[in-house]
Amino acid sequence: MSKSHLNIGIIGTGFMGKAHAFAYRSALAAFPDIPVPVMKMIADVNAESAAKAAHQYGFEKSSGNWRDLVNDPAIDVVSITTPNTLHKEMALAAIAAGKHVHCEKPLSPTLSDSEDMVKAAAAKGVITQVGFNYIKNPMLKMAREMIAAGELGEITGFRGIHAEDYMHDPASPWTWRIDPSGGPGVIADLGSHIIGMARFLLGPIASVNADVETVIRQRPADKGSSETKPVLVDDIARLLVRFEKGFGGTIEANWVKTGRQMQLGFEVEGTKGSLAFTQERLNELSFYKAGGNPREKGFTTIESGPQHPPYGGFCVAGGHQLGFNDLKTIEMAEFLGGIASGRAAGPDFKEAFEIQKVVEAAIASSRQGAARVRI
Amino acid sequence: MSKSHLNIGIIGTGFMGKAHAFAYRSALAAFPDIPVPVMKMIADVNAESAAKAAHQYGFEKSSGNWRDLVNDPAIDVVSITTPNTLHKEMALAAIAAGKHVHCEKPLSPTLSDSEDMVKAAAAKGVITQVGFNYIKNPMLKMAREMIAAGELGEITGFRGIHAEDYMHDPASPWTWRIDPSGGPGVIADLGSHIIGMARFLLGPIASVNADVETVIRQRPADKGSSETKPVLVDDIARLLVRFEKGFGGTIEANWVKTGRQMQLGFEVEGTKGSLAFTQERLNELSFYKAGGNPREKGFTTIESGPQHPPYGGFCVAGGHQLGFNDLKTIEMAEFLGGIASGRAAGPDFKEAFEIQKVVEAAIASSRQGAARVRI
Amino acid sequence: MSKSHLNIGIIGTGFMGKAHAFAYRSALAAFPDIPVPVMKMIADVNAESAAKAAHQYGFEKSSGNWRDLVNDPAIDVVSITTPNTLHKEMALAAIAAGKHVHCEKPLSPTLSDSEDMVKAAAAKGVITQVGFNYIKNPMLKMAREMIAAGELGEITGFRGIHAEDYMHDPASPWTWRIDPSGGPGVIADLGSHIIGMARFLLGPIASVNADVETVIRQRPADKGSSETKPVLVDDIARLLVRFEKGFGGTIEANWVKTGRQMQLGFEVEGTKGSLAFTQERLNELSFYKAGGNPREKGFTTIESGPQHPPYGGFCVAGGHQLGFNDLKTIEMAEFLGGIASGRAAGPDFKEAFEIQKVVEAAIASSRQGAARVRI
Amino acid sequence: MSKSHLNIGIIGTGFMGKAHAFAYRSALAAFPDIPVPVMKMIADVNAESAAKAAHQYGFEKSSGNWRDLVNDPAIDVVSITTPNTLHKEMALAAIAAGKHVHCEKPLSPTLSDSEDMVKAAAAKGVITQVGFNYIKNPMLKMAREMIAAGELGEITGFRGIHAEDYMHDPASPWTWRIDPSGGPGVIADLGSHIIGMARFLLGPIASVNADVETVIRQRPADKGSSETKPVLVDDIARLLVRFEKGFGGTIEANWVKTGRQMQLGFEVEGTKGSLAFTQERLNELSFYKAGGNPREKGFTTIESGPQHPPYGGFCVAGGHQLGFNDLKTIEMAEFLGGIASGRAAGPDFKEAFEIQKVVEAAIASSRQGAARVRI
């Protein structure tokens, strides 16, 4: 029987821990039909941070030990927002305890670890979700629907990119983010978002030819240090892709794209129309429809509004705009709705695993001179 | 003594009631130093709506009678989100009961009613705020600081607009929005936002010449009705303004600007630089600084990030973007912070009254052939 | 009988002299049906400049005395591109000699001088044109047609601006441009363009309330000089306007708008649609049509192409873009075509005079506290 | 000895023939130091078209036989603007006659034919140029200089595209453009532009992995015909590239990109800055410079002006904008200037041949599953 309330536990109080907290707190206001999320417990390796977060985000209790949270029988739902080397252990423990699990992306540093997580969740029958928040945007939901409905005609090409610049400065020191024990570099961190978006819009990718490279090969060992350490993970990944449906495209992931803070976007065209989107203007979608009055030929900049569900849950009037935390709210509300319905809203662990397969295929391709690798 | 918690009561469950609920729920997560807002009671003339809203927004109780809320001694803070003909009675009652009051704009249909509200609040010493949410945008806070710091040099001109299209269709029927008992038309509804923004950035307006007109003079009495009713409030207002600091500008309010959903913006220039902003891209601010390398002459599109407080309370990474509800969260957090500090963050009732004076002066000017009216 | 060839004479070799030369040289290639323009003579007060220009622009001969040109019986057409204090004398002489006259704007420093020019041309029956080049843009021709065809429904409002920054720096010295003997300041220089554009699109202006001000009241007498001279002409003009057709609008002219190089544009809306244009992107026109699929609501950015005459005379393929000199070519071709057909393509001297009346009315209004002045 | 005048002959009166005519007619006005171009002869397979063009473009004579033009001893310069299957024969004849030759791109259908042309020109010592007009843009000249001067730091990545939609409609019939005797499809037609632009900005390309595909595999044999013909040339080409300088990038050519008329552009980034450009807004260049005030972080939209040579030859004031025909004028003026100086301005036949090598390498790569092919 579906529960009317779900007790939430969040592991981690950093960037994503906070984003999850905002989202759970707002979910019911925007989505009246989901179970009521109850802010039950927040855990962090630093007990003081956990206590502070509990106060600030309105959780009933906190712990410095994530196992307290996972083992608490009152908890229904676990959000894992810790560094990705920790995801597997936490997720497996939560699954074993029968919790529904939301895990930030990427699922884990290696494909085999991720596969273990997929299998464990499936075996236990819990609902899972992975933090591919950007596709929760109402404009992307509409884009997907338009494509599926044939409004673009036969799709002929795609280009996707997720580029930011947080690693662009060669003077930026070595960080956990580029520790190879955490898995690949930008192709996992940002690449998984744009690969996931491509799949969301257009379906599976059949093959890749990829060039995955480290651009800044040495970084200061510490901030301001004159000692350097070699960088062993990738800074830029460029992919030629073929989709299973037959058309091709390109995908890029890049964390040294100087000046870009959130260039996550795509262009897709078909025989009858085109769409263009960038997260830099997340409340807009550019649409071109062939065959109109030639004198009026051009792209239309569609602005988000209540005619683009689930925008209306946030605001009844168009043009008021959603922000990042609203996308995260949609994500969490759909996760909770999935728990209620018994059917994951997605992207679930399985989908995250499929995305990771593309990541691994790209790396394999790159090692062979960008030879074609089937997925 | 400043309270660690503040018990919140919201009157109204519509567009703005919901926005207030979102905002109070998120305020502490984004602003850790404010008093904890406690969702205490929500009231609506429809008791069922109130009960539903209480469940959805997490309020402890609800009522079909706003007086229950105002008279509840547990309530510290009252948010008034009802139609503006009701503001005065509710606000005066809340003030009389010693509550701090947030009221949606415009404060009331008439200047004298608003003045009564200002005086009552002052006499009682409660903290007030009025819902001019758009100026809570981090990009506008920065704009104001840049202007104040002289980064634009001597200001030479301003042009502001708030245009939408929700009344553009002559077939749209008569609604409460155009009932003259609610006060003026677009100049109060949208004009107050852009007048408030102009004052926020540049200080008081000294005089206006204005053309305030009804464009669609008859509307169907009801949806689809062939009977029409005359429209007695304005659809478009155009103002020439002189600021107290000496420079001039133009301001427009327009609710029949076909195709526009949120064209609320401005351009301001000085001898050393210029700024341009539109709420249609609320996470961007265009800045031109004179005197650089001529070869690189152009406007810079600044993207919002944690370097623009209080963005960082919502997200530690730049480029992730705030939405409308986040602006409302800043507004409510500042209101609560003002209660804690004993000093209104503004815009308070007094400021709303000053804005309304400009509105009334514009209407007076228009009646005299747009003759100059001092404020 | 219409001539197959027209012998061209240009007076002045500066900014506009060169623009006319480019235009006459390209006109026949873009407009095969006009008379063949023959580069006959170019005159400049500096005979050496005239000789150099003749060589560079392909004129048969040159002179240091403009009267040589006006008195040469071989010349059919005279282009006057000198400072506007000189226009009247030259134009009257050319008209007296039976030449068709193109004169740069503004026609002359005073309304009465302009009226003399209008009358002289009419009496002699020569074809005239004035250099309002921006309205020659194919995108503006389309805009005008769309408005005339009712594609925007009933027009409800207009806002126009022509702002640049060539006078924005208080350290920029006094120049001929601000010598009051040349007539008003920005309202004549840039204001005439946007007033002309408003008339081109929407018809006559019936009244104005205007604020016309000098912002930088003293300027260095010379470059780098510590001595200053008072500025007696306007830097910014802001107008509330009422069109004869009944709707209102605003118009601004500004040459101290720091950072702007060519912000000449407008927005116009009606009950069924809207248009927006800026010369900063002169090959684009934004169009919104009400009543479409709400999910696709937004402005379409139309790109120029051969479907927008007379673009096709320059290029058979869309998206290749016209530049400023191409607009000037259209202008001159239409002038020559007008000579051939015996009917001025416009804007002719009469239209320039009508524009100047609005300029003068604005100045008169400003002197009376922006009181309404009928035109 | 350098000639003061150069007698021009153009072969072809279509799209490019006209563009050359415009350009030669305007070249001296914009570039006073080049030899005077004299419009001598124009030839077209259709003698009537040639005669008409001679009249319209101001040529002294015309011919229905291009050999008349090539064999005319008075002709100094030959522009070849015919279909590319004809380029080789015409160019070799012109070279043999000692003419300087400008040829539209691509040079010829095959690499070996192009090589013959390169060798013939070198042997004869004539000056050559090929119609890569877009890189003549002042904004691209500046971009190249900025890159060369290290203003972007170490280059880390590039992405270029040239996409249009003139073949996007499956109902568009078979045309000469897709006759394989003319060489490859879009990769030669549009790809050569963006490959040339990449080389212009960043130097030689060392290797490619490419996917070059025919998307619309059958087209009507004729307009409206129900009979179809197989399409044997490519519609889309996607390349992963490595530049000789070590960094990588992507390049796309696409003539089925629905809705695009001139999406020719690039983004390039380095450790210290980034540039972005699209021909859709050819008078703008976006520039990001790292290390400024973080509060002002963003891309600057630089507008073209006389500070960007050779813009000033066309207009002394910024913001007035160049169009396509102006770019062509720069191209032709540089060609004539190169003849005067004895040193090709480029891109010459040799450069066109280098570009074609990349085209051929991409096709070869695609045939091998996008395996890496060195150039």
Q: Residue D38: enclosing H or E segment and its boundaries?
A: strand D36-43
Q: Do A141 and A192 share a structural domain?
A: yes
Tell me if D253 sits within 8 A of D212, measured CB to CB. Answer: no
Instruction: Calculate how close chain B gets to A33, using CA atoms only, in Å.
Output: 9
Q: Which residues contact A136 (CB under 8 A, 6 or more apart)?
A: A327, A328, A330, A331, A334
Does position B308 have pLDDT exceeding 60, yes or no?
yes
Residues D277 and D280: their CA atoms lie apart, in Å, by 9
Residue of D nearest to B318 (CA): D297
Residues B62-92: tens digit of each pLDDT: 999 999 999 999 999 999 999 999 999 999 9
Cβ separation of D369 and A372 shorter than 8 Å?
yes
Residue of B nearest to D151 (CA): B296
Beta bridge partners of residue D129, listed in sequence order: D102
The answer to whether D291 and D272 have CB atoms below 8 angstroms apart is yes
**Cα distances (Å, whole numbers) of residue B276 to A278, B200, C169:** 21, 15, 19
Task: Report residue C225's pLDDT band, with 50, 70 and 90 as the boundaries.
Answer: confident
**Mean pLDDT, residues B16-41:** 98
Residues of chain A contacting residue D252, judged by C-beta atoms under 8 Å apart: 159, 250
Q: Each residue of C177-216: pLDDT tens digit?
A: 889 999 999 999 999 999 999 999 999 999 999 999 999 9
Could you tell me the pLDDT band of residue C125, with boundaries at 50, 70 and 90? very high
In D, minimum Cα distance to A296 occurs at D259
Are B296 and D294 in contact (CB < 8 Å)?
Answer: no
Looking at beta carbons, which residues of chain A come within 8 Å of B310?
none
**Where among D133, D153, D188 does a domain terminate?**
D133
Question: B373 lies in a domain?
Answer: no
The answer to whether position A374 is within a domain reads no
Residues D156 and D303 reside in one and the same domain:
yes
State how far residue D96 is from chain C, nearest Cα, in angstroms.
Answer: 31
Phi/psi at D275 (5° precision): -130, 150
If you average pLDDT over residues D227-245, what whole number do you get? 97
DSSP code of D46? Answer: S
Considering the domain architecture, whether residues C209 and C165 belong to the same structural domain is answered as: yes
Q: Which of A133, A159, A186 is the last residue of a domain?
A: A133
Residues B234 and B358 in one domain: yes
Q: How far is B89 from chain C (nearest CA, A)?
A: 37
Q: Phi and psi at residue C17, in whole multiples of 5°?
A: -55, -45
- What is the percent of chain C with per-residue pLDDT over 70, rounded to a whole number? 100
Using an 8 Å CB-CB cutoff, list residues of chain D that contact chain C: 15, 18-19, 21-22, 25-26, 28-30, 32, 36, 52, 55-58, 164, 166, 260-262, 279-283, 303, 305, 314-326
Mean pLDDT across the stretch A97-105?
A: 98
Answer yes or no: is pLDDT of C25 > 60. Answer: yes
Partner chains of B (3+ C-beta pairs under 8 Å): A, C, D
Beta-carbon separation of D258 and A288 below 8 A: yes
Straight-line distance from the first to the last Cα atom of chain A, in angstroms, rounded to the nearest whole number: 39
Residue A351 has pLDDT above 60, yes or no: yes
Out of C21, C29, C319, the one facing D22 most closely (by C-beta) is: C29
> Is pLDDT of B223 > 90?
no
User: Strand C77-80's sheet: what is its strand order?
Assistant: C61-63, C36-43, C5-11, C77-80, C100-103, C128-130
Residues of chain D with Cβ-Cβ distance to C164 below 8 Å are: 319
Confidence band for D1, pLDDT divided at 50, 70 and 90: low
- Is A142 found in the same domain as A124? no
Chain A nearest-CA residue for C275:
A296
Q: Do B32 and A56 touch (CB under 8 A)?
A: yes
pTM over 0.90: yes
Identity of the residue numbered D312: G
How much of chain D is helix, strand and coil, in % rounded to 5?
35, 25, 35
Distance from CA of A235 to the nearest CA of C (A): 36
Token pair 């740069």 is found at: C104
Instruction: Give dist(CA B361, CA B187) in Å, integer.
Output: 11
Helix (H, G, I), strand (E, B) or coil at C61: strand
Please tell me the predicted confidence (pLDDT) of residue C1: 52
Give the closest-approach CA distance of D224 to chain A in angstroms: 16
The CA distance from D270 to the nearest CA of chain B, in Å, is 17
Nearest CA in chain C to A138: C295
pLDDT single digits (tens) D336-366: 999 999 999 999 999 999 999 999 999 999 9
Residue A30 one-letter amino acid: A
Pair A149, A116 in one domain:
no
Q: Residues of C178-198 as b/e, b for ≥16 C-beta within 10 angstroms?
A: bbeebbbbbbbbbbbbbbbbb
Does B10 share its domain with B83? yes
Cβ distance B156 to C236 less than 8 Å, yes or no, reads: yes
- CA distance to B262, C29, D332, per residue, from B258 (Å): 11, 40, 46
Is the backbone peptide bond immediately before B106 cis, with ω within 30 degrees of 0? yes
Question: How far does A148 lie from chain C, in Å, by closest CA?
Answer: 16
Residue D123, CB-side half-sphere exposure with 13 Å CA sphere: 10
Does the distance separating the beta carbons of D302 and B301 come in below 8 Å?
no
Q: Is ipTM > 0.90 here?
A: yes
As a whole number of angstroms, the distance between CA D279 and CA C221 comes to 43
- Residue of C297, C308, C321 to mutate when probing chain A, most A C-beta within 10 A: C297
Arithmetic mean of pLDDT, D91-105? 98
- Among chain A residues, the shortest Cα distance to B52 is held by A32
C25/D21 touch (CB, cutoff 8 Å), yes or no: no
pLDDT at residue B100 in the model:
98
Chains A, C: CB pairs < 8 Å: 50
Reported as a single tens digit per residue, the pLDDT across B90-105 is 999 999 999 999 999 9
Contact A299 C301 (CB under 8 A): yes
Q: Is residue D374 part of a domain?
A: no
Residue A17 lies in a domain: yes
* C150 and C55 fall within a common domain: no
**In C, which residues are within 8 Å of B258 by CB distance?**
152-153, 156, 269-274, 288, 290
- Distance, C-alpha B270 to centroid of its chain: 26
The predicted structure's pLDDT at residue A2: 73
Question: Is A238 among the domain residues?
Answer: yes
Model pLDDT for residues A156-196, shown as the tens digit of each residue: 999 999 999 999 999 999 888 889 999 999 999 999 999 99
The set of chains that have 3 or more CB pairs under 8 A with D is A, B, C
Spatial contact of C133 and C190, defined as CB atoms under 8 Å apart: no
> Cβ separation of D56 and C315 shorter than 8 Å?
no
Q: Which residue of B has its CA nearest to D283?
A: B298
Range of the domain at A158: 137-346+352-367
Question: Can you tell me the mean pLDDT for C231-253?
Answer: 98
- Beta pairing, strands A373-374 & B61-63: unpaired
Those residues whose C-beta lies under 8 Å from the C-beta of residue A375, and which sit 6 or more positions away, are A204, A205, A206, A207, A208, A357, A358, A361
Same domain, A37 and A87: yes
Does C240 fall in a domain? Answer: yes
Best mutation target among B4, B311, B320 (most A Cβ atoms within 10 Å) is B320
Q: What is the pLDDT of residue B177?
A: 82
pLDDT of residue D323 exceeding 80, the answer is: yes
Number of independent structural domains in chain A: 2
The span from the CA of D60 to the CA of D63, in Å, is: 11
Residues B148 and B265 in one domain: yes
Give the 3-state secondary structure of residue C374: strand
- Residue A103 belongs to what H/E stretch? strand A100-103
Tell me the CA distances in angstroms from D51 to A82, A171, D13, one per residue in order: 77, 66, 10
Residue B142 and residue B98 in one domain: no
Which chains neighbour A (Cβ–Cβ under 8 Å, 3 or more pairs)?
B, C, D
Residue type, B31: F
Chain C residues with CB inside 8 Å of B168's CB?
156, 269, 271, 290
- Cβ contact (<8 Å) for C305 and A297? yes
Q: How far apart are CA B363 and CA B351, in angstroms?
A: 19
* Ordered strands of the D77-80 beta sheet: D61-63, D36-43, D5-11, D77-80, D100-103, D128-130
Across the interface, do B294 and D307 touch by the CB < 8 Å criterion?
yes
The Cα of B207 is separated from the nearest Cα of chain A by a number of Å equal to: 31
Question: What pLDDT is recorded for position C258?
Answer: 98
- The enclosing domain of B307 has a CATH number of 3.30.360.10
Distances in Å between the Cα of D122 and the Cα atoms of C90, C195, D95, D115, D138 are 55, 58, 9, 11, 29
* Least Cα separation, residue D309 to chain B (angstroms): 10
What is the structure's pLDDT at A175? 86
Q: What is the pLDDT of residue B1?
A: 52
With vertex at residue A224, the alpha carbon angle to CA A222 and CA A227, rounded to the nearest 5 degrees, is 60
What is the rounded average pLDDT for all residues in chain D?
97
Within a domain: A220: yes
C→A interface, C-beta within 8 Å: 142, 284, 287, 289, 294-303, 305, 307-308, 318
Average pLDDT estimate for C312-320: 97
With CB atoms and an 8 Å threshold, state whether A302 touches C318.
no
How far is Cα C155 from Cα C247, in angstroms, rounded to an integer? 7
The radius of gyration of chain D from alpha carbons, rounded to an integer in Å, stands at 21
Domain with residue C26: its CATH number is 3.40.50.720
Question: Of the candidates B94, B117, B133, which is a domain's last residue?
Answer: B133
Are the C-beta atoms of residues C39 and C8 closer than 8 Å to each other? Answer: yes
pLDDT of residue C223 exceeding 90, the answer is no
Locate A325 and state its tokens.
């935390």
Residue pair B280/A319 in contact by the 8 Å Cβ criterion: yes
> Is the Cβ–Cβ distance between B365 and B208 less than 8 Å?
yes
Residues of B with CB under 8 A from a CB of D: 142, 284, 287, 289, 294-303, 305, 307-308, 318
User: Within a domain: residue A372?
Assistant: no
What pLDDT shows up at residue C171? 94
Q: Which of A194, A212, A213, A258 to mutate to test the interface with D (most CBs of D within 10 A)?
A: A258
Which backbone phi and psi does A266 adopt, to 5 degrees? -155, 160
Contact list in A for residue D169 (CB cut-off 8 A) is 271, 290
pLDDT value of position B288: 98
Distance (Å, rounded) from C-alpha B213 to C-alpha B367?
Answer: 10
**Same domain for C43 and C121:** yes
Q: What is the mean pLDDT of chain C?
A: 97
Nearest-CA distance C121 → chain B (Å):
37
- Residue C176's pLDDT band (cuts 50, 70, 90): confident
The first and second tokens of residue A278, run together, are 């960038």
